[in-house]
Amino acid sequence: MPDKNIYVISTEALFKALNDKRKKHELPEIENSLVASKLGILFALKTNGLVNFRCEHVELNDSQLVVLQDILDQHFNAEMISEIRELISAQELLQKGIAANTRPSSSPEGIGFLSKLKGFLKVKATVQGSPA
Amino acid sequence: MSATQNTPLHQEVITTGGHNIVGGLSRVYHCNHYNAYLQMAVLLTQGMNNHNPERLLTDSVTSLVRLLKQRGYTEHDLLHEFSYNGFGFLQQLDDNTWETPNSHYGESLCVHGKPQKSCYFTSGYLQGLLEKTVIETECKILGAKTDKFIVLDEPLNVEHYLTGEFGLQTVIPERFAFEGCQTFATGVNEEQIIASFKTLPLYGKYGAGESGLIEIFGAVLTNHFADYYNRISYETYFAMRDMGILDEDSKEMFIQAGHICAFNTFGRIMTSSQWYDVVAPQCVSREDWLHGMVAIINILGWGIYRIEKIVPETEFVVRVYNSYEGVGFRRIYSRLNDKNISFLAMGTALGLVHLLWKVDIRDKPALTPEFYVNQFNNPNNSYSVEQTHAIAAGDEYDRFIVSK
């Protein structure tokens, strides 16, 4: 199941990456607290779930990562696919449940975050295809 | 209380109880930065079930224009007033097409997100004027030469929302003359400041070749409908609340709008030549600057601000009689229990303190977005704001405490 994967992201690193990206495109910075509020609101509206971006870390599943990427693109004018990929460390990638462990990496069921973003995360095969 | 007629408008501007009333509707001055930020906050709810922020931003003014027409406004009056209030120059191209070569909402309203058509207000204004559905087809934000609007042959279905009866308070204590007010020793002469700033050209000019914008203090102002702000802010806030969004997050968005307003509008006023001509010579301390800025706030139509207490660099307490948010709330909604509800005033009170006690506006820093993020709104050395009294909750006035 695609949403069995949980990715841990440092909010401080995420906000820094966002502002670096905006500055690169000559857009003004946005302060962290405002980014956190805006992300919290947009996440709740788009996923019907609460994620507190004021915490040091957030844990997001596949679908939520897709939403995060979409929000950053639409509401912060920052396409962040590669930056988010870098933020997700392999050590912090947790796996929940056992269903995903047995599914081949080439499974047509692979409709999660990784496949939706077309190779978003380089460790995809390790995570989804190789049981521990 | 006084009635003034300092306008080329056909309609009289009545100043009473801290409100500037034209055509029976309260008007408030706000800058492009506030308008941009507020519109962005409202549009956060795009795509939400049963909530359509684009329609909210559009229809909320349609209803008000209808009220003006009921009170005798002609088409010419409405077009004139559109410019006079700083929204730009609105003209008809053919039976079904209108444009604004210059417009407040079409020129500088893109804040954080991807650029998108932004002139919901102008569409709604036209809807009220024409009694037909209007949509924007081209926008300067997206690179068009003008903002264009087409009139659809569709009936309007717009809710009238100013349904409550709530009058302005007529007995307002004089400055420093109310129970609980600290004894102040300040040389700031509020009446003199008000008299001087009221002579400034705080209106746009109407006509071909005129921009219809109010460009002053390095900002672009509008003399907006107070209840447009109230409607779009509170409808969005309630929609967010109903969706289960943390109050902390949704309130921060709206309070932040006020904070940005203080930074840009107050900050630019306090570094302007007009300020240095009139106000600065009356000021000895930083706290005098607070008194001076509050004097100017009292001409903006936001209600009447009365400073209650100042402990330098520690605490600032201010009351607002007839706050436009509180009064508007009671005209649109039922009484509320939550007292932290006048978001604009909360943000501006906090921002005013930050201008003096967090950064020092007397040093004339460049008021850039970078300065806002890195200094003005940096969490280090920030103050917090609490609203202890709210007209929306049945109190006589709004009251705010800004403290460390």
Per-residue model confidence as pLDDT tens digits over B92-122:
999 999 999 999 998 766 567 788 889 999 9
- Does B131 fall in a domain? yes
CA distance B252 to B37: 12
Backbone conformation region of residue B212, classed left if phi is above 0, alpha if psi is from -120 to 50, else beta: left
The pLDDT score that the predictor gives to residue B111 is 67
**Got the DSSP string for A83-105?**
HHHHHS-GGG-EE-SSTGGGS-T
Residues B194 and B128 in one domain: no
Can you read off the two tokens belonging to residue B92? 């008809």
Are B246 and A52 inside 8 Å of each other by CB? yes
- Does B195 fall in a domain? yes
For testing contact with chain B, the best of A12, A32, A34 (most B CBs within 10 A) = A34
Residue B1 forms contact with A (CB below 8 Å): no
The pLDDT score that the predictor gives to residue A102 is 39
Residue B62, domain CATH = 3.30.1380.20
CB pairs under 8 A between A and B: 73
Residues B98 and B196 in one domain: no
Asked if B84 contacts B7 with a C-beta cutoff of 8 angstroms, the reply is yes
Residues B145 and B288 in one domain: no
Q: Which of B45, B373, B377 comes nearest A45 by C-beta? A: B45
Nearest CA in chain B to A75: B113
Stretch B371-399: mean pLDDT: 92
CA distance A109 to A90: 22
Strand-by-strand arrangement of the B97-100 sheet: B91-94, B97-100, B147-152, B133-138
- Residue A51 pairs with which residues in a beta bridge? none
Are A38 and B44 inside 8 Å of each other by CB? yes
The pLDDT score that the predictor gives to residue B115 is 85
Nearest to B203 by CA among B218, B216, B214: B214
Residue B147: which residues within 8 A CB-CB, separation 6 or more? B99, B100, B103, B105, B106, B119, B122, B136, B138, B139, B140
- Does B238 fall in a domain? no
- Does B129 fall in a domain? yes
Residues of A with Cβ-Cβ distance to B256 under 8 angstroms: 34, 37
Residues B194 and B132 in one domain: no
Q: What is the pLDDT of residues B329-356, one digit of tens each?
A: 999 999 999 999 999 999 999 999 999 9
Q: Return the higher-pLDDT residue of A103 and B205.
A: B205
Asked if B271 contacts B364 with a C-beta cutoff of 8 angstroms, the reply is yes
The pLDDT score that the predictor gives to residue B209 is 85
Nearest to B386 by CA among B356, B345, B357: B345
Residue B273, domain CATH = 3.30.1380
Residues B147 and B263 in one domain: no
Residues B196 and B344 in one domain: yes
The pLDDT score that the predictor gives to residue A121 is 30
Residues of B with Cβ-Cβ distance to A48 under 8 angstroms: 243-244
Asked if A74 contacts A90 with a C-beta cutoff of 8 angstroms, the reply is no
Q: Which of B115, B246, B369 comes nearest A50 by C-beta? A: B246
- Does B143 fall in a domain? yes
List the 37-96 stretch of B: residues with Cβ below 8 A of A.
44-45, 47-48
- Does B168 fall in a domain? no
For testing contact with chain A, the best of B33, B112, B248 (most A CBs within 10 A) = B112
From B240's Cα to the closest Cα of chain A, the distance in A is: 8
Are B112 and A77 inside 8 Å of each other by CB? yes
The pLDDT score that the predictor gives to residue A92 is 53
Residues B136 and B195 in one domain: no
Using the predicted structure, report yes or no on whether residue B5 has a pLDDT greater than 60.
Answer: no
CA distance B234 to B236: 5
Stretch B149-167: mean pLDDT: 92
The pLDDT score that the predictor gives to residue B378 is 83
Instruction: Give CA separation, B250 vs A75, A102, B255, B290, in Å.
Output: 16, 42, 9, 28
Residues B360 and B258 in one domain: yes
Helices (H), A25-119: 32-47, 62-76, 81-87, 113-116
Please provide the average confidence, as pLDDT, over all residues in chain B.
92
Residues B262 and B396 in one domain: yes
Using the predicted structure, report yes or no on whether residue A128 has a pLDDT greater than 50.
Answer: no
Are A73 and B112 inside 8 Å of each other by CB? no
Three-state DSSP state, B224: strand
Using the predicted structure, report yes or no on whether residue A44 has a pLDDT greater than 90.
Answer: no
Domain borders along chain A are 2-127
Using the predicted structure, report yes or no on whether residue A119 has a pLDDT greater than 50.
Answer: no
Nearest CA in chain A to B113: A75
Residues of A with Cβ-Cβ distance to B108 under 8 angstroms: none
Asked if B361 contacts B271 with a C-beta cutoff of 8 angstroms, the reply is yes
The pLDDT score that the predictor gives to residue B109 is 61
Q: What is the pLDDT of residues B117-153, one digit of tens each?
A: 899 999 999 999 999 999 999 999 898 999 999 999 8
- Residue B99 pairs with which residues in a beta bridge? B91, B148
Confidence of residue B183 (pLDDT cuts 50, 70, 90): very high
Using the predicted structure, report yes or no on whether residue B319 has a pLDDT greater than 90.
Answer: yes
Q: What is the pLDDT of residues B32-75, one digit of tens each?
A: 999 999 999 999 888 777 789 999 999 999 999 999 999 999 99
- Does B148 fall in a domain? yes
Helix-helix angle A11-24:A32-47, to 10 degrees = 100
Residues B266 and B320 in one domain: yes
Using the predicted structure, report yes or no on whether residue A104 has a pLDDT greater than 60.
Answer: no
Residues of B with Cβ-Cβ distance to A15 under 8 angstroms: none
CA distance B31 to B35: 6
Residue B108 forms contact with A (CB below 8 Å): no
- Computed on alpha carbons and rounded to an integer, the radius of gyration of chain A in Å comes to 15
Residue B277: exposed, middle, or buried by beta-carbon count in 10 A (0-12, 13-18, 19+)? exposed
Which residue type, as a one-letter code, is found at position B224? H
Residues B261 and B145 in one domain: no
Residue A55 forms contact with B (CB below 8 Å): no
Residues B396 and B273 in one domain: yes
Residues of A with Cβ-Cβ distance to B260 under 8 angstroms: none
The pLDDT score that the predictor gives to residue B10 is 60
From A22's Cα to the closest Cα of chain B, the distance in A is: 9
The pLDDT score that the predictor gives to residue A116 is 36
The CA-to-CA distance between both ends of chain B, in Å, stands at 36
Q: Which of A40, A74, A75 comes nearest B246 by C-beta? A: A40
Stretch A84-105: mean pLDDT: 53
Confidence of residue A129 (pLDDT cuts 50, 70, 90): very low
Residue B114: which residues within 8 A CB-CB, separation 6 or more? A73, A74, A77
For testing contact with chain B, the best of A43, A75, A76, A79 (most B CBs within 10 A) = A75
CA distance A10 to B121: 39
Stretch B298-307: mean pLDDT: 98
Instruction: Give CA separation, A4 vs A57, A93, A130, B104, in Å.
Output: 18, 11, 14, 48
Residue A13 forms contact with B (CB below 8 Å): no
Chain centroid offset of residue B320 CA: 15
* Number of independent structural domains in chain B: 2
Asked if B63 contacts B158 with a C-beta cutoff of 8 angstroms, the reply is yes
Torsion sign (Cα): B226, B229, B233, B234: positive
Three-state DSSP state, B396: coil
The pLDDT score that the predictor gives to residue B26 is 97
Give phi and psi for B96, each to the nearest 5.
-120, 10
Residue B187 forms contact with A (CB below 8 Å): no
Confidence of residue A63 (pLDDT cuts 50, 70, 90): confident
Query: What is the value of pTM for the model shown?
Result: 0.86
For testing contact with chain A, the best of B33, B249, B367, B381 (most A CBs within 10 A) = B249
Name the residue range of residue B45's domain.
Answer: 32-152
